[in-house]
Amino acid sequence: MDTESDHPEALARRHKCPACFKQFKRKEHLIEHMKFSYHSVHEPKCVVCQKHCKSYESLREHLTGQRAKAYCSRIFSDLGCSLCLKLFENPDSLTKHKEGCCLSAPAPSGIAMSRAESQQIISGLVVKNHTGRGHGAVAIDCEMVSAGSVNLCARVCLIDGDENVIFHTYVQPRIPVTDYRYDVTGLTEEHLKDAMGLNEVRDTIFEILFNGESVEKLRLDGGNARLLVGHDLGHDLDCLRMNYPEHMLRDTAKYQPLMKTNLVSHSLKYLTRTYLGYEIQSGLHDPYEDCVAVMRLYKRFSCQPDHVGEMGTQNITGGLVSYGSKELMKMSPSELYEMSRSNYRCWCQDSRKINIQERD
């Protein structure tokens, strides 16, 4: 027997979210949904039906998972790229696109820099060649050894946006090592015996990130600091005993669109295989290989097609919560969506800012 809510007139009165397509009997319920769903043009969305999803994982489920939308799945299976989740007009365009979208693993970086090469960086001879060009960001990865339950940084690598090595060195532990984790790191006591000290390494990294400017200048006017890209950056920075401005960090483990639907981080190995199309960490961990992976992920998701119009200018504060109830009740679902804002900073904003700086 049909319920009152199933009656055609009742269905016609329902209020539909223009982003995720959920329907509500009362306008107040739609408004509450819009307030706390944080829909915006920056969310991943289906290239077929335009439904918004909270993460690329949920979008992938919508297109190819066990509970995929039949119509969207059918079209996407013929004309969609399984890596970037974009749709193409014909099979030939898709084939041509895949040639560039599916990447190859980088060649091994080889051994870390010698102490003399590292000293050149400290004196500024190498830093001058890396003044924010490329993609305006630096990727970092550290390899750890342990002293009991304490993780110690034993190797660190930094690359620029063009995948050139800026800095790659072994790090001398400050306390005796109990486990070199050789099966993962490939490190032995010999590698670290004459390595750079942690303070020296940290000073070098700061000089690279600040483009040779002083920490005091950065604090005063922002200086010319560079974005720092990595996977689980908090772990690396802790081991280096470094602090870096939160708004300058781009973490592939903490970027909401790349996380699981329950906001748990994916491994870098999974993200690289799923979104770049190749395998990493199949043997010994190479910090250069991991740096390249995070830089490629960052560039792929910061170079999404530009969002145009007022909604494309992201402001993660305010939004619907800054309006009164009476004002919101007068708005249509589309107007509510236009006022809605993300609760994370979309990486596409970095790409727009860098393009403006380069034009200037």
Same domain, 329 and 296: no
Banded pLDDT at 161 (limits 50, 70, 90): very high
pTM (predicted TM-score): 0.86
CA dist 54 and 46 (Å) reads 11
CATH number of the domain to which 218 belongs? 3.30.420.10
Q: Which residues pair with 52 in a beta bridge?
A: 45
Is residue 317 assigned to a domain? yes
Indicate whether 277 and 179 sit together in one domain. yes
Pair (148, 184) in one structural domain: yes
Same-domain pairing of 268 and 175: yes
Q: How many domains does the chain have?
A: 2
For residue 160, pLDDT beyond 80: yes
Same domain, 52 and 138: no
Q: Are residues 124 and 9 in the same domain?
A: no
Q: What are 221-271's pLDDT values in tens digits?
A: 456 789 999 999 999 999 999 999 999 999 999 999 999 988 899 999 999
Asked if the structure places residue 129 within a domain, the reply is yes
Q: Is residue 89 part of a domain?
A: yes
The pLDDT of residue 108 is 81
**Distance in Å from the first CA to the final CA of the chain:** 67
Encoding tokens for residue 232? 């689980």
* Strand 227-230 to 196-197 pairing: unpaired
In a domain, residue 108? The reply is: no
Beta bridge partners of 167: 158
For 90, the domain range is 4-101+311-359
Residue 246 domain-assigned (yes or no): yes
What confidence tier does 86 reach under pLDDT thresholds 50, 70, 90? very high
- For 78-105, what is the mean pLDDT? 95
253 and 334 co-located in one domain: no
Q: Identify whether 154 is part of a domain.
A: yes
Same domain assignment for residues 224 and 243: yes
Give the β-pairing of 165-172 and 196-197: parallel
> Is 106 part of a structural domain of the chain?
no
DSSP-derived 3-state class of residue 222 = coil
d(CA 73, CA 75): 6
Are 75 and 213 contained in the same domain? no
Please give the sequence-ordered ranges of beta strands (E in DSSP) within the chain, or none if there are none. Answer: 15-16, 23-24, 137-147, 150-159, 165-172, 196-197, 227-230, 249-251
150 and 295 inside one domain: yes
pLDDT, tens only, 182-223: 999 999 999 998 899 999 999 999 989 987 665 555 554 456
Quick check: is 107 in a domain?
A: no
| 205 and 325 housed in the same domain | no
Helices vs strands, H then E, count in the chain:
16, 8
Which residue has tokens 């007139």?
A: 9
Separation CA 43–CA 37 (nearest Å): 11
Identify any residues that bridge with 230 across adjacent strands, giving them in sequence order.
251
Q: What residues form DSSP beta bridges with 24?
A: 15
